[in-house]
Amino acid sequence: MKKYKLIYIVRHGETEFNKLGIVQGSGVDTDLNETGLFQAKQFFDNYQNIDFDKIYISALKRTKQSIQSFIDKGIHYKILPELNEISWGEFEGKVQDFKEREFYQKAVSAWNNGNYDVSVAQGETPNQLQARQRIAVQKILAASEEKTVLVCMHGRALKSMVCLLLNQPLSMMDEYQHTNLGLYLFAHDGEKFELIKRNDIEHLH
């Protein structure tokens, strides 16, 4: 009989930079705004009865703030910098102007066409992002005693992570939408991952 490991993955709650369209990436460490804190409460209210064995978060405080109520219950957490958002290089901390949006679209178009070694100016490539995400997945799976875990991470990084877990090419990243505190649920049977829930936002209504 196969032993399943359940992995609940959520994107962090809304920040003021999200609201204003300012690029964050891995180099901008912002707090949740009032909406983001409310989203975090909604998620907790709906999933507080899940017996999580461990929580994994990125090194950016918006992920910890998003699941703080679970930590307050006494659930142990671990920071994995490998879960950080992709680096958006020179774009970080800025509202995208026309030139930056154009460069961003060119990069995303290259990714969608299978060129994963393209980055925005001084940023991170999808191949670099996924290389570190593999390390995070190895660490999570290595803890075999943990049967149900909660992971909080970031938007573009989440798109990449879904492709990684499903063994799909990175060109499919944009097939997977993400919402602040939207949930992806995976089951791992010891060999492969199965996607059970996809950007589930029932708890946000």
Q: Which residues contact 180 (CB under 8 A, 6 or more apart)?
A: 11, 12, 13, 14, 18, 35, 36, 39
At 21 the pLDDT is 86
pLDDT, tens only, 23-52: 899 999 999 999 999 999 999 999 999 999
pLDDT averaged over every residue in the chain: 95
Q: Is the dihedral of CA 51, 62, 85, 159 positive or negative?
A: positive
At 143 the pLDDT is 96
pLDDT-based confidence at residue 105 (cuts at 50, 70, 90):
confident
Looking up tokens 């102007």 gives 97
SS percent in the chain: helix, strand, coil, step 5: 45, 20, 40
Average pLDDT over residues 102-116: 90
At 65 the pLDDT is 98
pLDDT, tens only, 110-144: 999 999 999 988 899 999 999 999 999 999 999 99
Between 1 and 46, the more confident residue is 46
pLDDT-based confidence at residue 2 (cuts at 50, 70, 90):
low
The CATH number fitting domain 5-204, selected from 3.40.1180.10, 3.30.70.1380, 3.50.50.60, 3.40.50.1240: 3.40.50.1240
Average pLDDT over residues 193-197: 98
The closest alpha carbon to 66, from 32, 94, 97, belongs to 32
Verdict on whether the full-model pTM lies above 0.85: yes
Average pLDDT over residues 87-99: 84
d(CA 179, CA 11): 7
d(CA 204, CA 188): 26
Share of the chain above pLDDT 70, in %: 99
CA 40 to chain centre: 15
Average pLDDT over residues 8-30: 94
Q: What is the DSSP string of 30-41?
A: PPB-HHHHHHHH
- Give CA angle at 170 (164, 171), nearest 5°: 150
At 1 the pLDDT is 52
Residues 55 and 8: beta-carbon distance below 8 Å:
no
Share of the chain above pLDDT 90, in %: 84
- 65-96 burial string, b = 16+ CB within 10 Å, else e? bbbbbbeeeebebeebebbbbbbbbebbeeee
